[in-house]
Amino acid sequence: MNYQEIATGACEKIEEAAGRFRVNGTPSECRRYGSGHINDTFLLRTEDGEQGHSYILQRMNTHVFQDPEGLMRNVSGVTGFLRDEIIRTGGDPLRETLTLVKTESGEDYYVDSLGSWWRMYLFIPDAVGYDTAEKKGIFYQSARAFGRFQRLLARYPVSLLTETIPDFHNTPKRYEAFCRAVEADVCGRVQGVGSEIAFVTDRKEEMSIVADKLESGEIPRRVTHNDTKLNNVLIDSRTGQAVCVIDLDTVMPGTAVFDFGDSIRFGANTAAEDEKDLGRVSLSLPLYETYTKGFLEGCAGSLTEGEIRLLPWGAKIMTLECGMRFLTDYLEGDRYFRIHRPEHNLDRARTQFALVADMERKWDEMRRLAECAGHTRGQ
């Protein structure tokens, strides 16, 4: 097999894993694929006479996802349910949801001789992901896709889902972890980030606003994606329409408010997630408005009034939480997020905090736009 951009030592295990799944044809080429921080993702091509086939092969990060069997049970259950709903509504299940490829023994995953966990999906052709909202239409399509994802899974039993990362978006507990990292200061980095630490601690009281309402039942617990970045929606390269929501590792019980908020954090920022020039970081109100309209359109009336009122809080808290997570990882020695330069996680944290500060300056308008969009959609 031809390997591209892959270290020689890794090729043997990739070939072992690829050979355990029910692919059409003979594997001919494998290369790294995508820009994800967590799992190792490869594009596998096979040859079957004159016809070629493409697959996504992933080595799962079991340090991050410590219950990979539960995770795969979630993915299998959710994609199966989505497939049935898509067929029922006249869609194309091979393009509109991920399709797991079974192993030779009929499993959804393979564990290799070193204990690494692997899975495979059918590759969705003529579809691309975007790291930035280059056009408002792209952001709007991603919003509709995540809203539709919520709507299609509205009848899926939340009780069937495993928490793949317990308390993943439990912001108060994330704050507790942050405080422990500051106290321990295992890498001696606290002294250099005093202003960033103060930025977080000054907003401690806001961190439980959504979590408290979820816990009390004031807003419903739903099947949520929990990582709703723009690049987790594939866009049809010919039509410009949203095709499929991907990266389902963090599908868990949660709140639609945070799914909305994480999209705003990532997609309505005028700068990259790791921008070092903080003067370039701001919340784009036009993109915020575009996404809000698209998300509520995709949800098609399924959100409550209480959830709509909390949408701006979802954006602010998810941005603050993400910055806090980046800063925590920096203080602990960059153990969770993959970094590409020294202080990469610190740059990411500073970007998130700059975005929070700009949201605070634009808060009244954020609330007004969410309320207007909710009334327009009849939510």
pLDDT in tens, 32-57: 998 776 899 999 999 987 789 999 99
Q: Are strands 222-224 and 252-254 parallel, antiparallel or unpaired?
A: antiparallel
Cβ–Cβ under 8 Å, residues 273 and 324: no
State which H helix or E strand residue 287 sits in: helix 285-299
Other C-beta atoms closer than 10 Å to the C-beta of 23 total: 20
DSSP per-residue string spanning 154-211: TTS-GGG---SSTTTT-HHHHHHHHHHHHHH-TTS-GGGGHHHHHHHHTTGGGGGHHH
Cα separation, 353 vs 322, in Å, equals 9
**Which residues are 100's β-sheet partners?**
121
pLDDT at 321: 97
Give the residues of the chain that fall short of pLDDT 70: 1, 3-10, 37, 375-379
Return all residues near 146 (Cβ < 8 A) that are at least 6 apart: 225, 228, 233, 245, 259, 260, 263, 295, 298
290 neighbors 143 (Cβ within 8 angstroms): yes
Please tell me the distance from the alpha carbon of residue 265 to that of residue 263, in angstroms, as a whole number.
5
State pLDDT tens for residues 248-286. Answer: 999 999 999 999 999 999 899 999 999 999 999 999 999
- Looking up tokens 């736009």, which residue turns up? 369
Domains of the chain by range and CATH?
Answer: 2-122 (3.30.200.20), 136-376 (3.90.1200.10)
What are the phi and psi torsion angles at 49 (to 5°)? 70, -125
- Exposed (0-12), middle (13-18) or buried (19+): which is 151, by Cβ within 10 Å? middle
| DSSP assignment of 313-370 | HHHHHHHHHHHHHHHHHHHTTS-SS--SSTTHHHHHHHHHHHHHHHHHHTHHHHHHHH
Looking at residue 7, what is its pLDDT?
Answer: 56
- By the 8 A CB rule, do 247 and 129 touch? no
